[in-house]
């Protein structure tokens, strides 16, 4: 089992490190803070899905965005997709769940994140 998993995990670690290296906080803040409305939500969802930022970095970033006026909806969507949808984690995920199930899980989580965001936008 480890034979299959190990290369995937290593690949994952490499990709995350590269991503972290390329994306400074300023870049992310710029991307997410820019638009408002539906487009902003969508951008946040996509970035959250692709990104793999550890919590201790993601939350301060979100806090910063909030201070810059990014609405709760966008932040909620960003954090939820960040945690639940993983384009970069996908190779590992498909080893466990199988390609179809993994795709379905990610898609549903993406939609779920949007739903969470919308509900939060209404509640807050």
Query: Among the candidate windows 15-23, 30-38, 39-47, which touches another protein by CB under 8 A?
Result: 15-23
The two three-digit tokens of residue 24, written as one number: 């400074």
Does 29 participate in binding another protein (rule CB under 8 A)? no
Query: Which three-class secondary structure state does DSSP give residue 51?
Result: coil
Site string for another protein, 40-69 (x = CB under 8 A): ------------x-xxx--xx-xx--x---
Contacts with 36 (C-beta within 8 Å, 6 or more apart), sequence order: 70, 71, 74
Taken as a whole, the chain contains a residue count of 124
What's the distance, Cα to Cα, between the start and end of the chain in Å? 46
Does 11 participate in binding another protein (rule CB under 8 A)? no
Does 103 participate in binding another protein (rule CB under 8 A)? no
**Could you give the CA distance from residue 92 to residue 69 in angstroms, rounded to a whole number?**
36
Q: What is the DSSP letter of 69?
A: T
Residue among 67, 65, 77 nearest 26 (CA): 65
Does 38 participate in binding another protein (rule CB under 8 A)? no
**Residue with smaller CB distance to another protein, 39 or 119:** 119
Chain residues that interact with another protein, rule: CB under 8 A = 1-2, 5, 9, 12-13, 16-18, 20-22, 52, 54-56, 59-60, 62-63, 66, 72, 75-76, 79-80, 83-84, 86, 89, 92-98, 100-101, 104-105, 108-109, 112-113, 115-116, 119-120, 123-124
């Amino acid at each position: 089992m480890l034979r299959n998993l190990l290369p995937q995990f290593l690949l994952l670690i490499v990709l995350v490190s590269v991503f972290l290296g390329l994306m400074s906080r300023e870049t992310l803040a710029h991307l997410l803070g820019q638009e408002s409305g539906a487009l902003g939500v969508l951008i946040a969802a996509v970035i959250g899905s692709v990104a793999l930022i550890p919590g201790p970095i993601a939350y301060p970033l979100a806090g910063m965005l909030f201070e810059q006026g990014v609405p709760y909806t966008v932040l909620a969507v960003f954090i939820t997709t960040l945690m639940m949808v993983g384009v970069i984690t996908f190779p590992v995920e498909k080893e466990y769940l199988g390609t179809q199930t993994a795709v379905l899980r990610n898609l549903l989580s993406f939609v779920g994140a949007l739903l969470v965001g919308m509900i939060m936008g209404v509640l807050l």
